[in-house]
Amino acid sequence: MNSTFSEPVDWSAAVAHSCTFKTSHFIHGEFTPSLSGKTFASVSPRDGRVLAHIAAGDTGDVDRAVLSARQTFESGVWSRRSPRERKRILFDWADLILSHREELGMLESLEVGKPISHATTNDVNGVVDALRWYAESLDKVYGEVAPIGEEALVTITSEPLGVIAAIVPWNYPMILAALKFAPAMAVGNSIVMKPAEQSSLSMLRIAELAVEAGIPAGTLNVVCGLGAEAGAALSQHMDVDKIVFTGSGPVGRLIQKYAAESNGKAVQIEAGGKSPHVVFEHAGPLDIVAERVAFSLCYNSGQTCSAGTRVLVARSRHEELIEQLRKACSAWIPQDPLDPLSTMGPIASELQLERVTGFIDRAIDSGSELVMGGKRVLLDSGGFYLEPTVFDNVQNHLEIAQEEIFGPVLCVIPFEGFDEGVRLANQTRYGLAASVWSDNLSEGIRASREIRAGMVWVNTYQRSDITFPFGGVKASGHGRDRSLHALAEYSSLKSTWLNL
Ligand code: NAD
């Protein structure tokens, strides 16, 4: 593997031509520095260089953003605008985002090391799809009339909750933010976004484009900063109606505590996973299975909440699968994310790289067999690159099989028979996603029913779309992003009795 970039790209030149860095909070339609004047450094995982100094928000900045969101909501400039008008403006916003595809993709690639070809397509398209889909739904969702009889007319209508706070992680900064702000704003709420400290730039630019598209100032505010400061202040705020969170389980539970200790605000949590592929004896061709496993492991450098990082395989197919996995994972080679041909960039931060290599070292110490990978590469670049890593004959109780690693690290666990496969699949505290590989129809359907997860794929992995819900059970959280079901997360039902 190369020790330097194959085709160096001068990102500073690329940036100068295609993007500007906005580094302050975006409150009531304006970029505003922190009241404290504090900033933090945003480091590019591509080469370890400091990209920008971003405003570090705390209680004072959060207060300003929530006040702006509350006043805007109460004024009705957005919340009481006709659904059709909200729809038109959301469509304009989506078009503007699309016309800034290169810039937004570049920001995301520089900040979190996403391959530029993925950032400018999948990630930008994900935001645009979410906005258009929820905008389109706006004037098609009707209320209800209760079957009460002759004495009254009882209507059941849906209303926006008010002020939503959203805290999101760095692995898909734009998409995960859009899955919150698109449904929330479609139904008329105002929102305060807190991006992860590793990935503020794209969210700030998207917020600026919202105002340019005609969304009233104060409807979408962005407070940047560290989780323990800006994030905690937002979760504890007394005037936030609901907090929606995507991130790690421990922080999710902290947010539930903050909500309970403050104003009892509603909470939605999308936390992590340790999702299994269950490869049964009757699985189809294993080169296809291995290709999909490698994709679910290496896409976004394994930093995907639903990454399928535990492969449970019927003992009769074990050796063949390992051979196929060697081939399929070798096709994923960490490269400069700004290289247009790159499909795998670095790990998003040095801290995260150290966390992942710590898991690898402890797995080796605990006797798991390292089949391939395990090493940091492209060291001369100054960035944080890691090879796809596969462990075999892992015991399911070990840390490497139970903890969410959030990097390209796979463990393979052989099993005997259907019951053991399903039992091992469920032997995790998580329940976000799973996949079942079998050409035996009833085996596939039975397993998909018996595995406890919010999303089960049969004979594929990681297919997602805005049209169906996504979220977990058990420690993976509760509530759902995507689909019409997500609208319920941002609305409350009102029953009105009209006496006849
Ligand atoms: P994280 O929980 O550390 O951080 C997520 C967000 O929470 C960041 O914005 C951070 O600043 C904020 N935060 C941190 N401490 C906080 C505190 N004390 N109070 C309030 N906010 C705080 O997670 P991460 O490392 O950024 O992201 C990776 C995690 O996200 C993984 O566990 C992954 O599985 C999960 N994730 C889940 C989904 C899903 O849909 N289920 C999607 C993507 C990522």
Sheet holding 491-499, edge to edge: 144-145, 152-160, 491-499
Domains of the chain: 11-271+477-496 (3.40.605.10), 275-463 (3.40.309.10)
- Residue position matching structure tokens 């969210």: 203
Residue 432 CB less than 6 A away from ligand 1: yes
Q: Is the CB of 120 under 6 A from ligand 1?
A: no
**Residue 144 tokens, joined:** 């209800």
Is 261 considered catalytic here? no
Backbone angles phi, psi at 17, to 5 degrees: -85, -30
Answer positive or negative: Cα dihedral of 313, 314, 315, 317.
negative
Angle between helices 83-99 and 101-112 (to 10 degrees): 70
Amino acid 19: pLDDT: 72
Q: What is the pLDDT of residue 17?
A: 56
State whether the beta carbon of 175 lies less than 6 angstroms from ligand 1: no
Name beta bridge partners: 193: 166, 222
The secondary structure of 437-471 as a DSSP string is E-S-HHHHHHHHHHS--SEEEESS-----TTS-B-
Q: Which residue owns the Cα nearest ligand 1 atom 43?
A: 305
Using the structure block, give the residue that is written with the tokens 């291995």.
290
Cα-to-centroid distance, 60 and ligand 1 (Å): 22
Measured distance CA(465)–CA(129) in Å, rounded: 9
Tokens found for residue 469? 């819900």
What are the backbone dihedrals phi and psi of residue 493, each rounded to the nearest 5 degrees, phi first? -90, 135
pLDDT value at position 10?
57
Measure the CA–CA gap between 359 and 410, rounded to whole angstroms: 11
Residue 431 CB–ligand 1 contact under 6 Å: no
Active site (annotated) includes residue 305: yes
Termini Cα distance of the chain: 79
The reply to whether ligand 1 has any atom less than 6 angstroms from the CB of 108 is: no
pTM: 0.96
Q: Is the CB of 167 under 6 A from ligand 1?
A: yes
d(CA 285, CA 295) in angstroms, rounded, equals 16
Beta-carbon contacts of 178 under 8 Å, excluding residues fewer than 6 positions away, are 126, 127, 130, 131, 206
Distance of CA 403 to CAs 17, 372, 374, 385, 428, Å? 42, 20, 17, 21, 9
Catalytic residue chosen out of the listed positions 229, 270, 443, 489: 270
57 alpha carbon – ligand 1 mean position (Å): 17
Q: How many angstroms is it from 230 CA to the middle of ligand 1?
A: 13
> Probe ligand 1: pick from 42, 59, 112, 171, max atoms within 8 Å of CB?
171
Choose one of 167, 354, 480 to mutate for the ligand 1 pocket test, by most ligand atoms within 8 angstroms of C-beta. Answer: 167
Nearest 5°: the CA angle 467, 300, 243 is 55
Secondary structure tally for the chain: helices H, strands E: 17, 24
Phi and psi angles of residue 495, each rounded to the nearest 5 degrees, phi first: -100, 130
Per-residue pLDDT tens digits for 278-305: 999 999 999 999 999 999 999 999 999 9
Q: What is the layout of strands, in order, in the sheet containing 25-27?
A: 30-32, 25-27, 220-222, 190-194, 163-167, 242-246, 266-270, 477-478
- Residue 40 Cβ < 6 Å to ligand 1: no
> Ligand 1: distance of its center to the CA of 25 in Å?
20
Q: Does ligand 1 come within 6 angstroms of the Cβ of 229?
A: no
Distance 16 CA to ligand 1 centre (A): 31
Average pLDDT by consecutive 10-residue portion of the chain (500 residues)? 45 59 97 98 96 97 98 98 97 97 94 96 97 96 96 97 98 98 98 98 98 98 98 98 97 98 98 97 98 97 97 98 98 96 97 98 96 97 97 97 98 98 98 98 97 98 94 96 97 97
**229 CA to middle of ligand 1, Å?**
14
Q: What is the pLDDT of residue 8?
A: 46
Atom of ligand 1 nearest to the CA of 250: 2
Q: How far apart are CA 490 and CA 183, in angstroms?
A: 7
Give the position, in ligand 1's atom list, of the atom nearest the Cα of 225: 11
Residue closest to 218 by CA, chosen among 30, 28, 77, 64: 28
Give backbone dihedrals phi and psi of 445, rounded to 5 degrees, phi first. Answer: -70, -45
Q: Is the CB of 479 under 6 A from ligand 1?
A: no
Catalytic residue among 19, 224, 298, 305: 305
Q: Is 306 exposed, middle or buried, given 0-12, 13-18 or 19+ CB atoms closer than 10 A?
A: buried
Mutate to test the pocket of ligand 1, among 248, 304, 347 (most ligand atoms within 8 A of CB): 248
- CA 485, 486, 487, 488 dihedral sign is positive
Question: Ligand 1: does its nearest atom lie under 6 Å from the Cβ of 305?
Answer: yes
Q: Does the Cβ of 270 fall within 6 Å of ligand 1?
A: yes
Mean pLDDT of the chain: 95
